[in-house]
Amino acid sequence: MEQDMQNCRRLDRRAAYEMLQTLEDVYILIHRSPDGDCIGGGYALHRILKDMGIRSRVICADPIPPLYSAITNGVEFEDFAPKMHISIDVADRKLFGDLAPEHKDSEVLLCIDHHGTNTHYAKNLLLEPHASAACEVLFYLMKENGIPMTAEIAACLYIGIATDTGCFQFSNAGADAFEAVGEIKRAYPELPYARLNRELFVLKSQGRIRLDAGLMRDIRISDSGRTALIYLPYSLMQHYRLSPDEVDGVANLPMQIVGVEIGITCKQQEDGSYRVSLRGGDHADVSAVAAKFGGGGHIKASGCSVKEGAPEDVCAALMQAAEASLQ
C-alpha cells in the first residue's frame, strides 16, 4: 500500500482529460457485483472515448444486471486486445473480482474514483472523495474540459448519481450532485427520469417482495435500538430463485427503522463465506466498522467480507462491533 502511494500520481481534472486523450485500445475495468455507478461510469467513459475516436470496452467480473439496460442499450463492444487498462469506481484492486489474470493483475494507467479509501493502485488517479458518485466526478471532468455531452452519456451519469445517493436520500448527495443532475435535466428534459427512478428504486420482483417480508420479520435489533441486522442465508436466495443483483437493495432495509443508526446486512455466499453491507445514519461511521473486518468504503455506506464462522457468531460479532462504534 505504501509502495502504491509512492507510485501513484494524483491528477486534477485537466490532467485527467489530457490523459484520456492519449489512450488507445483500452479496457475499462469496473468492480464486481456491479452497481449503477460503476456501470453508468464505465459506459459513459466508453461513449466519451468513442466520441474521441478511441476504442474501448467495459470489463466486469460479473454480468451487468438487466435493470441497467438504459445504460447499456445500443452499445456493442468491438473485439480487440487491450493496449492499456483504466478503472472507474474501483477503490481497491481486490474489487475487480474474478477477472482473468491479464486484466486483474494488469497495470492500471488511470483510475477515476470517489472512494476516500482508494488504495492508490493505479499509476494515475483522479480521486474526488467528496463526490457522491464516480459519475459525479465524470460529470465535472467533462464540464471543466468542455467534453461534449450526449443524451446517452447524460442518462448514464444520472443513473450513477441517483443510485449511489439512494435517489438523493443519502448524505453524500452534496450541492454538486444536485447541480449536476439539475444541469443534466435542463439539457435533456426528455430522458425518462420518473420511470428510471421507479424502476431503480421502487419496483421489485414477486420473489424479492416475499424475501423482504421474511427478512423484515426476522430482523435483529440491538437493545439500544440503534443497530439492526438482517441475515440472508444462501438457501433463502435459492428458495426464491433470486440472482445476487436482485437482492442488491436489501442493505437499505434495516435503515427504514426509526432510531437505527447502523444497518447491517449479512449475506451468506454459496461457499459459506459472508458479504456484509453496512449503512450508517447521521451519527455513525460504518467505514470504521467495516475496517475492523478488513473491509472499507464510505462513512455512510461500507462493506466487508467474513471468510468463515457460524452465522450466529458472525452476526453477533458484527452487531457488537457496530454498537461499540456508536459509544
| Nearest-approach distance from CB 116 to Mn ion, in angstroms | 12
x/- mask, Mn ion, residues 48-87, rule CB under 5 A, reads: ----------------------------------------
Q: Which residues of 297-321 are buried (b: 16+ CB within 10 A; e: fewer)?
A: bbebbbbbebeeeeeeebbeebbeb
Is 89 or 128 the residue whose CB approaches Mn ion more closely? 89
Among 56, 63, 57, 126, CA closest to 90: 126
Closest CA to 239 of 268, 259, 263, 282: 268
Count of residues interacting with Mn ion (CB under 5 A): 5
Q: Find out whether 165 and 173 touch, Cβ atoms under 8 Å.
A: yes
Taking the complex as a whole, how short is the minimal distance between the CB of residue 134 and Mn ion, in angstroms? Answer: 5
Q: Figure out which of the listed residues 29, 37, 112, 247 binds Mn ion, where binding follows CB under 5 A.
A: 37
Closest separation between CB of residue 260 and Mn ion, Å? 23
Backbone angles phi, psi at 21, to 5 degrees: -65, -20
Label the pairing between strands 227-232 and 9-10: unpaired
Type and span of the H or E element at 145:
helix 134-145
What's the min distance (Å) between Cβ of 41 and Mn ion? 7
Q: Which stretch binds Mn ion (CB under 5 A): 13-21, 29-37, 116-124, 245-253?
A: 29-37
Give min distance, CB of 37 to Mn ion, in A: 3
| Least spacing, CB of residue 7 vs Mn ion, in Å | 24
Distance CA 146, CA 42 (A): 19
Query: Using CB under 5 A as the criterion, what x/- string covers residues 127-166 for binding Mn ion?
Result: ------xx-----------------------------x--
Identity of the residue numbered 194 = A
| Span 162-191, contacts to Mn ion by CB under 5 A | 164
Q: Closest Cα partner for 124 from 87, 176, 82, 173?
A: 87
Please identify which residue in 89, 92, 246, 248 interacts with Mn ion, judged by CB under 5 A: 89
Binding site for Mn ion (CB under 5 A): 37, 89, 133-134, 164
